[in-house]
Amino acid sequence: MNRVEALKIGKIIADRWWVRNQSTILAQQNIERRKLWEQKKLTTPASN
């Protein structure tokens, strides 16, 4: 197996992994973003 073939196989494996895990990864990023937003919301003083 040469380098080009190995890279093609590696890309196929990575693409399959991404398809299977994309929703989990994006959901985790969304959860982290919401946590940061909640922390920021709680730490900023309410202006009346």
Give the mean pLDDT per block of 10 residues along the chain (48 residues). Answer: 95 97 96 94 72
What's the pLDDT at 48? Answer: 55
- 9 Cβ neighbours under 8 A, 6+ residues apart: 1
- 1 Cβ neighbours under 8 A, 6+ residues apart: 9
**Full-model pTM:** 0.60
For 10, the token pair is: 């590696």
Residue that the structure tokens 């946590």 belong to: 35
For 44, the token pair is: 């900023």
Cα separation, 29 vs 37, whole angstroms: 12
